[in-house]
Amino acid sequence: MQLISAISMKTIFPTAKFQQLRTPFYYYDTDLLNKTLQAAQSEADSYGYHLHYAVKANANPRVLAIIRAAGFGADCVSGGEIQAALAAGFAADKIVFAGVGKADWEINLGLDKDIFCFNVESIPELQVMDNLAAAKAKTACVALRINPEVDAHTHAHITTGKKENKFGINLDQLDSVLDVLDRLKNIKLIGLHFHIGSQLTELEPFQALCERVKTLLADLAKRNLHLENINFGGGLGIDYDNPNAHPIPDFGSYFKIFHDNFPVAAGQQIHFEPGRSIVGQCGSLISKVLYVKEGSVKKFVILDAGFTELIRPALYQASHLIENLDSHEPEETYDVVGPICESSDCFAKDIQLPQTQRGELIALRSAGAYSEIMASQYNCRQLPMAYFSDLL
Ligand SMILES: Cc1ncc(COP(=O)(O)O)c(C=O)c1O
C-alpha cells in the first residue's frame, strides 16, 4: 500500500538571505505548512473527522498560531503544552490532554480551563482526577486510553500500543477500570482514545486498529455503554528519504482507511491527533560546516549543529536527508557529525555529498517535527532561532 502521496514540491532555500543569519537555525517553509494543513483539513472534512494537532511535535508559537488559524484543535501531553496552546489561541473546548503522568496542577489547569477531554491512562489517575474535580465541584470529561495491542511496525522507541508499553490501559484491565468509573461521581466517560505509535509508513496497522476498536465497542455495547467520542491518535509517517518528492503525506488514503473500516454510529465523533505529518516536512535545520576533517579511514564533515538541535538520529537512529546548499562539486563519502562531546552526536555515516568545504551551508531536511521542540542546551549551547520563509 502506498502511504505517501506523489505531490512533488521542491523546497527552494534562500541561501543569500541565510548568509546573514547565525547558524544553526530552523527554517520553516510557511507555504508548505499551509498547504499541508489544507490537505489534512479538507480530507478530514470530507468524513466529518475532528483534528487535534499534537503540540509535542512542534510548539513554536508561530507554528501553533498558523495551525490554530487553519481550524485545528490541540492535543497536549503536559500543562505547559496546554498553556502554549491556549496562548496561541486554541479553543479550550478543542483541547485533549493525554499523558501517563499528569501532575495535580496539570489536571487542575485542564479543569479550570474546561478542556474538552482528558485522555486517562490508569485507575490511580482516574481517582486523583475525581478528587480534584470534586474539590472544584466540576466534572472531568474523560476518554480511556486503551492499548489496542496492535503492532505498529515502527521503531521500538516510538511504538506505544502494546501491552508492555507504559502507556494506556490494557484490554484485559478494562472491566476493572469500568467498575471503578461507576463509583466516581465527578468523572464523565465520553470516549475512548488510542495511539499505536509514530512514523507509520504502512496503513495496515491503522486498519487493524479499526478492527480492534469495532470489537471493543461491540463488547462495551453489551454493558450498555455507547461512547460518543473515538480518538484514533496520530502516527501517520512522512518520507524522510525524499522530502521533495513527498512533501505532503497522503491524508486522503489515511482517512479513507478509517472511513472504510470503521463505521461511525449515529452521534459519534471521530478524532485524530496528527503531529509529524502536519509539521515534519516544512522544517529544515540549517547549519554551517565548521571543518572537514580527514581521519585515517574516514572523512568527517563537522557541523555547527549537533544533537542539541536535532536529536532524532541519536535518540532513535533516525535518518534525515542532508543537502549541501552551496557545493555542486563531484560527490565524496563523508560522515556528518556535530560538535557535541558525545560519540552519538552523528547525523549520518558514509553518505554521499558534493565535495564539501568549511563555511558551506548544510540543510538537514524534514526537521519540522520533534526537532526544535527537543532542542537542549547541553554543553551550555544557545537555543537556536527559528525563521519563516514568508518573514525572511
Ligand atoms: C498520544 C499521542 N497522540 C499523538 C501523537 C502524535 O503522533 P505523530 O507525531 O506520530 O502524528 C503522539 C506522539 O507520539 C502521542 O503520543
Give 78's pLDDT tier (boundaries 50, 70, 90): very high
| Ligand 1 centroid – CA 277 distance (Å) | 10
CA distance 324 to 330: 12
Q: How confident is the model at residue 147 (pLDDT cuts 50, 70, 90)?
A: very high
Return the residue matching grid coordinates 503544552.
81
Q: Are 14 and 376 in contact (CB under 8 A)?
A: no
Question: Is there an atom of ligand 1 within 6 Å of 277 CB?
Answer: yes
Mean pLDDT of 346-369: 98
**How remote is the CA of residue 363 from the centroid of ligand 1, in Å?**
25
Residue nearest to atom 5 of ligand 1 (CA): 234
Question: Nearest Cα to 111, choosing from 125, 90, 97?
Answer: 97
Give the mean pLDDT of 291-307.
97
Mark residue 314 as left, alpha or beta (left: phi above 0; alpha: psi -120 to 50; beta: remaining). Answer: alpha
Tell me the residue type at 294.
E
Is the pLDDT at 327 greater than 80? The verdict is yes
Ligand 1 in reach of 81 Cβ (< 6 A): no
Residue 278 CA: nearest ligand 1 atom is: 11
Mean pLDDT check: name the lowest of 9-23, 63-77, 136-150, 310-324: 9-23
CA distances from 50 to 53, 228, 232, 355 (A): 10, 13, 10, 48
Could you tell me if the CB of 235 is within 6 A of ligand 1? Answer: yes
- Residue 273: all three cell numbers together: 491527533
pLDDT higher than 70, residue 162: no
- The per-residue pLDDT for 260 is 98
Query: Ligand 1 pocket test: which of 195, 250, 251 has the largest number of ligand atoms within 8 Å of its C-beta?
Result: 195
State the DSSP code for 265.
Answer: P
Look at ligand 1, atom 4, and give the residue with the nearest C-alpha. Answer: 234
What is the model's pTM? 0.95
- One-letter-per-residue 3-state SS of 329-388: CCEEEEEEECCCCCCCCEEEEEEEEECCCCCCEEEECCCCCCCHHHCCCHHHCCCCEEEE
Ligand 1 pocket residue status of 198, Cβ below 6 Å: yes
Q: Which atom of ligand 1 is nearest to the CA of 234?
A: 11
Q: Is the CB of 54 under 6 A from ligand 1?
A: yes
Ligand 1 atom 13 nearest Cα: 198
Helix axes 61-69, 79-87, angle to 10 degrees: 60
**Alpha-carbon gap, residue 165 to 250, rounded angstroms:** 28
- Going from the Cα of 234 to the center of ligand 1, the distance in angstroms, rounded, reads 5
Residue with cell 568549511: 358
The answer for residues whose C-beta is within 8 angstroms of residue 233's C-beta and 6 or more apart is 193, 194, 195, 196, 272, 273
Q: State the pLDDT at residue 1.
A: 39
Share of the chain above pLDDT 90, in %: 91
Q: What average pLDDT score do residues 250-254 get?
A: 97
145 lines ligand 1 (CB under 6 A): no
145 CA distance to ligand 1 middle (Å): 13
Chain centroid, CA 88 distance in Å: 18
- Nearest Cα neighbor of 100 from 171, 195, 189 is 195
State the average pLDDT over residues 185-195. 98
Q: Which of ligand 1's atoms lies nearest the C-alpha of 199?
A: 10
Q: How many Cα atoms within 13 Å fall on the side-chain side of residue 265?
A: 13
Ligand 1 pocket, 98 CB below 6 A?
yes
pLDDT category, 8, cuts 50, 70, 90?
low
What's the whole-number mean pLDDT along residues 193-200? 96
Give the cell for residue 161: 500500543
Cα–Cα distance for residue pair 270/51, rounded to 1 Å: 9
Q: What is the pLDDT of residues 234-248, one digit of tens each?
A: 999 999 999 999 999
Residue 74 in contact with residue 50, Cβ under 8 Å?
A: no
